[in-house]
Amino acid sequence: MSLAIGEPFGPTPDRVTNSAITALHAGRTHYESFSGSPALRDRLARHINTQVGMTRDCPTTVVDADNVVVTHGGSAGLAATILTLVAPGDRVVLPEPTYSLYADQVAMAGGVVHWVPLNADGSLPLHHLADAAVGARLIILCNPGNPTGTIIPSTDIDAVIDITRITGSHLLIDEAYAGLVYDGTQMPPAAATFDQANHVLCAGTFSKAWAMTGWRVGWIAAADPTLAARINLVHRTFNGPLSTFIQDAAIRALDLPEEYFTQLRSQFQTRRNIMCEALDATPNLTFTRPQGAFYAFPRVHADLPAGQLVTRLAQAGVAVRDGTEFGPSGVGHVRLSFATSIEDLQHGLRRFCAVLTAL
């Protein structure tokens, strides 16, 4: 039973899949623009502006198509951004625990990672972050957090932007899980700061909220369109154009009604609650209740190293991730995903809790 995979439990919505089939039958199988489908870039810009407008309670235009780069999944967007901004020897600040791919891609660019441990409750340690940002080329935030499920409030985002204005660092906010927030928590979109800070970027993907992991389509939005053009050049050099019919389907995905996302959040929140109830009743661990994404990141209070614990759990029939994958502060933690069927989640949690109880 796997509680290790970061992939939504449901299929891609039928209307999105059917739009790809229609596009295939219509002959949409040839090269699209190397810069991404103009129609998709325009639609993504409208999507971003809508999200910002909902936050500000007024119509707002902060981006147009020139600010948007369509990418081969969120991962390729992150890689293109890091390769554009980071030269060998440049420091990149990573508040952690955080998504493991950031450090890998910084290393690929020849950069140097500067880890900054999060506070015990998953919030940003702004004072330490300010110290670390001096001389840094880039800061990368994950919001909502993977693996913590913590949402960074707008006040902290503003504080980090103030820090980067002083240090001259760029700020990249990965919003892969932006559509998955719980308990009515507000998640400020990074693009809401674009008209005030031209050194901010955000990364998005269709993988999570739209259940399109295998489709491999994401985006980068940059406050500065000249920076977006530079990222676009790096991305298209490595990747070439995205599949045309998949970009057509992505446009259809952006037209899904709000009811789809309301229902999706409700389904994930039910699973989040099931996991939290099980962890609350389990000895030998503490955890912070996830506000978004679909992970919990409990700390296990035992003499057994996390790597050995992960092995013991696998032997008991449940797979989880070793917390050390997500940075130095992950020592003693494991990551559990609740992005699975309720039946599998309950079975997996029973096995997990039985092992923890026996420690």
Tell me which of 237, 254, 271 is where a domain ends.
Answer: 254
Q: How far apart are CA 215 and CA 228, in angstroms?
A: 23
277 and 132, same structural domain? Answer: no
Residue 276: CATH number of its domain:
3.90.1150.10
Tell me which of 194, 224, 254 is where a domain ends.
Answer: 254
Tell me which of 254, 281, 309 is where a domain ends.
Answer: 254
Q: What is the pLDDT of residue 303?
A: 84
Q: Nearest-CA neighbor of 141 among 117, 171, 113?
A: 171
310 and 200, same structural domain? Answer: no
294 and 250, same structural domain? Answer: no
Q: Nearest-CA neighbor of 267 among 345, 347, 350, 353?
A: 345
277 and 224, same structural domain? Answer: no
Q: What is the pLDDT of residue 24?
A: 96
Q: How far apart are CA 199 and CA 191, in angstroms?
A: 11
123 and 181, same structural domain? Answer: yes
Residue 118 is given by DSSP the state P
Is-contact 295 147, C-beta < 8 A? yes
Residue 201: CATH number of its domain:
3.40.640.10
Q: What is the pLDDT of residue 52?
A: 87
On whether residue 302 sits in a domain, the answer given is yes
On whether residue 10 sits in a domain, the answer given is no
Our measurement of the distance from residue 27's CA atom to the centroid of its chain's CA atoms, rounded to an integer in Å, reads 33
Tokens of 63: 């981006």
The number of folded domains in the chain is: 2
On whether residue 309 sits in a domain, the answer given is yes
Q: What is the pLDDT of residue 27?
A: 95
Residue 95 is given by DSSP the state E
Q: What is the pLDDT of residue 34?
A: 87
On whether residue 215 sits in a domain, the answer given is yes
263 and 250, same structural domain? Answer: no
306 and 332, same structural domain? Answer: yes
46: containing domain: 27-254
- Tell me the per-residue pLDDT of 204-219, one tens digit each, with 9 for 90 and over: 999 999 999 999 999 9
SS3 assignment, position 12: coil
291 and 228, same structural domain? Answer: no
Q: What is the pLDDT of residue 59?
A: 57
Tokens of 170: 């760029």
Which parts of the chain have pLDDT scores under 50? none
264 and 192, same structural domain? Answer: no
Q: What is the dihedral of CA 119, 159, 65, 78, to 10 degrees?
A: -30
On whether residue 3 sits in a domain, the answer given is no
Q: What is the pLDDT of residue 6?
A: 87
- Tell me the per-residue pLDDT of 216-229, one tens digit each, with 9 for 90 and over: 999 999 999 999 99
Q: How far apart are CA 191 and CA 41, in angstroms?
A: 15
167 and 282, same structural domain? Answer: no
- Tell me the per-residue pLDDT of 221-276, one tens digit each, with 9 for 90 and over: 999 999 999 999 999 999 989 999 999 999 999 999 999 999 999 999 999 999 99
Q: What is the pLDDT of residue 196?
A: 86
177 and 133, same structural domain? Answer: yes
Locus of tokens 């446009």? 251
